[in-house]
Amino acid sequence: MEDIINFTGVEIKEKIKANSLEESEVYSFFKNRIKKVDSQLNSFVDIYEYDNGERGSAYAGVPIAIKDNICIKGKKITCASKILASHVAVYDATVVNLLKEAGLRIIGTTNMDEFAFGSSTENSCYGVTKNPWDRSRVSGGSSGGSAAAVAARLVPFALGSDTGGSIRQPCCFCGVVGLKPTYGRVSRYGLIAFGSSLDQIGPITTNFTDSAHILNIISGFDRHDSTSSKEEVPDFTKSLKDDIQGLRVGIPKEYFGEGLDIQIKKAIDEVMAIFKKKNVKIVEVSLPHTEYAVATYYIIASSEASSNLQRFDGIKYGLRVNNTDLEELYTKTRQEGFGDEAKRRIFLGTYSLSSGYYDAYYLRALKTRNLIKRDFDRVFSEVDVILTPTSPTPAFKINEKISDPLSMYLSDIYTISTNLAGLPAVSFPCGFTKDNLPIGAQLISKEFDESSLIKLGSYYQEHTDFHKKLPPLGS
């Protein structure tokens, strides 16, 4: 069998279709690679046996990994939390059903921060997922398992979820492509909720061609999801070869100030230079309410999380610490089942929603969210796409920020505004630091204009090879 580690997911699909690769052989290749390599990373939670699934479908036999907060019928779903350690999903998430119908084979579930609360995949009951480029560093979060698995070529595709950067930031740290679609573009039915007005499922791949293909499969209206949009879904693969000449790219000055690593700034400048060669117009713009984004996000996200996590009480599903007293049952179950970061988010959210503080915190955060959205609306009347860094720093050391929550929260400073505004955004590899750590650039577009992200990103990857580089892992 051919050595398929360097094939893209779409190339694997075409080789299976041409009978130069067998479905079961492809699956065995990646399953064996996971067993050999993942002990160095801890990116997978569960690995599944080969399932024939839909035969003759477009992507028949191509493996994909699913983040451990997306339901797969008959499989354990834990959100990397002790409180759901024994829970088995009783239905397929809409995205999982769509992937199965397309013929993709779910090879397993990936590690994450507990209930997606985190930016490093250190807050997991399964332990930390390590960065494939430097195993002393984090993979990012909360979709760190999915990003690390794709970067290490343990699987061609993966799904993650993004509430404030949880697809894009780990993809930045691991050197792969992570796309957060417009809010409502992809159904959230079957995604265990963190922040219901912020969450969005999206693809993690090595390249924009694979991203476009997976986005085609998972996008569209779903009657099971009340926030799902009826907006027409284009064929995103048609954007892969579109001409970018004449596009206007905005550079927000607020994203290039104090705290940005000089190596990352230089890499973004080089991205601009590549675009300029194609007569893309670079325009400085301003998003003045960016400075309030972190505070706004953590009030809204934690408030929604505290409400969503009320269901985990030891009665309906998951862990139960038996006790004759009902109140003590609730208390002890949650005390033993939730990790420190989950408890921190619950406390913060409950406080923000409590009587006497609702107006001062939650209501004010909602008003500020509207101002952030208006900033983007104004800028998109001037430009087509916005270019920024994905993260102010490369991947940080394991345990470096875990005891300093505020420092950890600030690692998402460039990504959270798009979730507050409901906009699509993508992170893609654009270079390496002197320590050989990946650098990520971020593109943001107006609502339901993922095509512009794919168009620009695909052009960039045609003229660079950062996305083709492999991490220094043993096989």
CB 372 within 8 A of CB 253: no
The tokens describing 381, both together, are 């009347």
How far is residue 345's CA from residue 78's CA, in Å, rounded to a whole number?
A: 18
Catalytic, out of 43, 120, 142, 458: 142
Catalytic, out of 166, 302, 303, 458: 166
Is 15 one of the catalytic residues?
no
Burial class (CB in 10 A: 0-12, 13-18, 19+), 417: buried
Among 426, 452, 442, 418, residue whose Cα is nearest residue 183 = 418
The tokens describing 383, both together, are 């430009």
How far is residue 46's CA from residue 440's CA, in Å, rounded to a whole number?
A: 28
Is 75 one of the catalytic residues?
no
Percentages of the chain per state (helix, strand, coil), in multiples of 5: 40, 15, 45
Catalytic, out of 13, 31, 67, 455: 67
CB 316 within 8 A of CB 278: no
The tokens describing 250, both together, are 């905005």
Sorted by sequence, the CB contacts under 8 Å of residue 435 that are 6+ apart come out as 134, 394
How far is residue 64's CA from residue 204's CA, in Å, rounded to a whole number?
A: 10
Is 277 one of the catalytic residues?
no
Residues for the chain: how many in total?
Answer: 475
CB 402 within 8 A of CB 451: no
CA 318 to chain centre: 25
Catalytic residue positions, numbered: 67, 142, 166
